[in-house]
Amino acid sequence: MKFHSVFAYGFAIVLAGAGCGSTTFQTTWRAPNARALQVSGRKVVGLFVGKNPTVRRSAEDAMAREITARGAMGVPAYTVLSDEEVKDRDGAQHKLADLGFSGVVVMRIVGHETQYRYEPGYWYSYPHYRRFWGGYWAWGWGRVYDPGYLTADRIVSVETLVYSFEQDELVWAGISRTTNPDHIDAFISELADAVSRELVNAGLLAPTRG
């Protein structure tokens, strides 16, 4: 599924091109008293907050795979909470507690924008510009200038929250920006890698041994 489907029922935007994304964080926050997360073998819910059920399922499947790849037991929220149950806070809380979940990773799109970059024309063989009569004159008439053009980048901002049910608090939060995301699986994988690095840097997650 193309990532532009994420914007159905809300953003109505089509991402141009098929470039892989580039994710950076605008801001991150760590709870002052948060303890390191013990995720090995623990059940963690992957929850994508969005209006499109199809996209929610695709995103949560990808989130669960990435959570599992990092040592926990990742579970897509839609497999334990129906579209109706996910709207019932108290019911969802009790159900996840009864099922033994230790935490949840939440992702939600919080913005998108288009940025334009001017790509200047390329002057071939720059040394020819040093002298007008002895270089550029003859060379310039024999070359055609490659004009500049505008390139549009799609920037998607995502809020990621990490809650520990055992610590009963939000332990980490961040707002990321991804340039030109394409397939949702690749996008979630890239974002999960970036989040994991931030959690390691914050002392909340043990580094992966490789």
56-108 pLDDT, tens digit each: 999 999 999 999 988 899 999 999 999 889 888 899 999 999 999 999 999 99
Q: Which of 49-53, 120-124, 128-132 has the highest mean pLDDT?
A: 49-53
**CB atoms near residue 97 (< 10 Å):** 10
Q: Is 59 exposed, middle or buried (0-12, 13-18, 19+ CB in 10 A)?
A: buried
Beta bridge partners of 27: 175
Q: What is the pLDDT of residue 117?
A: 74
Give the tokens for residue 25. Answer: 């964080």
pLDDT higher than 80, residue 130: no
